[in-house]
Chains A and B, each alone.
Chain A
Amino acid sequence: MTASSRGSQAAASLIRIHPRVCSDCINHISRPTQRSYATEAASLKPLDGPQVTRPSNLPPVTSHPGPAEYITKSGILLSRPPLLTRPPTSFEKAFFFYQKRLNERLVMPFSRYFYFKKDTPADTDWKIKARERNWQPARELGGYSPYGPEAWNDELLVGDKLSETSTIMEALVKDGQVRAVEGKDGKAQEAREEEKGKVEKPLGRITEADKTNDQKRLDRKLNRTLYLCVKRENGGWGLPSGALEGRENLHQAAERVLVQTAGVNMNTWIVGHVPVGHHILQPYYVDGKLERPGERTFFMKGRIMAGQANLKGNLFGLSDFKWLTKQELEDHVRPKYFSAIRNMLAER
Chain B
Amino acid sequence: MAKLPSATLRRAHLPSSPQQFTQCRHASLLRRPHRPYTFTQLVTLSDGSTYTQRTTSPQPIYRSTKDTRNHPLWQPSLDNLRNVEQDEAGRLRAFRNRFGRGWDLESTGEDAGSKEGKNAAAGSGADASKKTAAVGAGSDEEGSLMDLISGGAYTQSYQQTREASKGPKGGEGQGAKASAKDPAEDDSEKAKKKKK
Contact = CB atoms under 8 A, between A and B. Distances in A.
Query: Are A and B bound to each other?
Result: yes
Interface of A: 83-85, 100, 103, 106-111, 115-116, 126, 137-140, 168-169, 172-173, 175-176, 199-200, 202-203, 267, 305-307
Interface residues of B, number: 22
12 contacts: A85-B51, A100-B40, A109-B37, A139-B39, A139-B60, A140-B40, A168-B52, A169-B50, A172-B42, A176-B61, A267-B76, A306-B78
Contacts of A202: 42, 44, 48, 50
Contacts of B44: 200, 202
A4 B51 CA distance: 59
Nearest to A266: B77
Contact of B60 (A106, A107, A108, A175): A175
Contacts, number: 64
A134 to B, nearest CB: 16
B37 A137 contact: yes
B38 A107 contact: yes
Contacts of B42: 169, 172-173, 176, 202
B40 A107 contact: no
A85 B77 CA distance: 24
Interface of B: 34-42, 44, 48-52, 58, 60-61, 75-78
A103 B38 CA distance: 9
Interface of A is mostly: loop
Contacts of A176: 42, 60-61
Given A168-B52, A169-B42, A172-B40, A305 B61 contact: no
Contact of B58 (A109, A137, A140, A173): A137
A168 B39 CA distance: 12
Contacts of B38: 103, 107
Given A108-B35, A168-B40, A175-B60, 8 more contacts: A107-B36, A110-B58, A111-B37, A139-B39, A169-B42, A172-B52, A176-B60, A203-B49
B56 to A, nearest CB: 9
A286 B192 CA distance: 67
A138 B78 contact: no
Nearest to A111: B37
B192 to A, nearest CB: 24
A126 B51 CA distance: 23
A306 B42 CA distance: 27
A203 B37 CA distance: 28
Nearest to B32: A106
B60 A172 contact: yes
**Top 8 A-B residue pairs of the complex, sorted by shortest distance between their CB atoms:** A306-B77, A176-B61, A110-B37, A202-B50, A175-B60, A172-B42, A267-B77, A176-B60
Contacts of B36: 107-108
Contacts of B58: 110, 115-116, 126, 137
Contacts of B35: 106-108
B60 A137 contact: no
B127 to A, nearest CB: 22
A138 B34 contact: no
Nearest to B40: A140
Contacts of B76: 267
B61 A199 contact: yes
Nearest to B75: A306
A116 B37 CA distance: 15
B33 to A, nearest CB: 9
A109 B34 CA distance: 11
